[in-house]
């Protein structure tokens, strides 16, 4: 976080005195300064992020950091993405409201909530059981669980049970696009995924249309690693 953001964050952080900050105002400022100002245009994405109370997806002691311009820890060595990255990824999928979406890496459930506000149904898969449970609780607390199924499992192999998906969003970095995710992508379909090394990745938008696969660079990024059979191998 930049120094100026820290100072305004501390100045505005009245939760220390037992009073909740004005999260609705912070949310609007986030949408204006972090999303609109950087080129996010899709009105559905902007409306969803203006509506969903991001503070409810953070660990209670960090909820006052809900609208900072950075990732925030959510436990188990994982992070909730910077708001701009969530917006950019969802915008890339060009959702209209009819889609069945696979979200790999549920984490806090926030990204799934944004997808669910726009798409018809979201299957959100998380490999860490405690986080899957937390995501379920967070989504229920804000009344967003109606069209979101949280599954605990290895999403590096997708979730074949409900394939094909009109859109797939992967929130953890893979060494390459897992072929099983491409197999589970509908035609036409759109897949957004960070691909590269453990430290630096390209956020790539992969599209399938009439059997043809195309991939383009969206931006450079750094995500936590995708684990599991088609991700990075880590000793437990």
Which positions touch ligand SAH (CB under 6 A)? Answer: 74, 78-81, 104-105, 107-108, 110-111, 125-128, 131, 154-156, 171-172, 224, 226-228, 231
Nearest CB to ligand SAH, comparing residues 8 and 229: 229
Nearest CB to ligand SAH, comparing residues 92 and 128: 128
Nearest CB to ligand SAH, comparing residues 110 and 166: 110
75 bridge partner residues: 78
69: which 2 tokens? Answer: 């311009």
Rounded to a whole number of angstroms, the minimum distance from the CB of residue 133 to ligand SAH is: 12
Rounded CA-CA distance 84/96 in Å is 20
Phi–psi pair at 82, nearest 5 degrees:
-55, 140
CA atoms within 13 A on the CB side of 56: 19
Strands 212-221 and 201-209: antiparallel
The residue from 81, 108, 156, 169 that is catalytic is: 81
Rounded to a whole number of angstroms, the minimum distance from the CB of residue 170 to ligand SAH is: 8
Rounded to a whole number of angstroms, the minimum distance from the CB of residue 120 to ligand SAH is: 19
Nearest CB to ligand SAH, comparing residues 18 and 141: 141
Give 13-40 as a DSSP string: -GGGGT----HHHHHHHHIIIIIGGGT-
The contacts of residue 83 (CB under 8 Å, 6+ apart) are 30, 34, 35, 49, 54, 67, 69
Rounded to a whole number of angstroms, the minimum distance from the CB of residue 81 to ligand SAH is: 6
Q: Is 81 a catalytic residue?
A: yes
Catalogue the active-site residues.
Answer: 81
């Amino acid at each position: 976080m930049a120094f100026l953001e820290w100072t305004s964050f501390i100045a505005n952080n009245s939760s220390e005195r037992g009073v909740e900050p004005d999260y609705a105002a912070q949310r609007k400022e986030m949408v204006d300064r972090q999303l609109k100002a950087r080129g996010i245009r899709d009105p559905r994405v902007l409306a969803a992020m203006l509506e969903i109370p991001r503070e409810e997806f953070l660990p209670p002691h960090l909820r006052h950091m809900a609208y900072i311009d950075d990732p925030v820890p959510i436990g188990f060595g994982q992070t909730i993405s910077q708001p701009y990255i969530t917006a950019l990824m969802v915008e890339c999928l060009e959702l209209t409201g009819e889609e069945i979406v696979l979200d790999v890496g549920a984490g806090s459930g926030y990204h799934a909530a944004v997808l669910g506000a726009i798409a018809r149904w979201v299957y959100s898969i998380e490999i860490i059981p405690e986080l899957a449970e937390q995501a379920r609780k967070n989504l229920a607390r804000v009344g967003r669980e109606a069209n979101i199924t949280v599954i605990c499992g290895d999403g590096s192999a997708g979730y074949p049970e409900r394939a094909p998906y009109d859109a797939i969003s992967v929130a953890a970095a893979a060494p390459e696009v897992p072929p099983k995710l491409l197999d589970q992508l509908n035609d036409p379909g759109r897949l957004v995924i960070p691909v590269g090394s453990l430290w630096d990745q390209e956020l790539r938008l992969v599209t399938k249309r009439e059997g043809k696969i195309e991939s383009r660079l969206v931006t450079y990024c750094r995500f936590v690693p995708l684990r599991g059979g088609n991700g990075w191998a880590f000793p437990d």
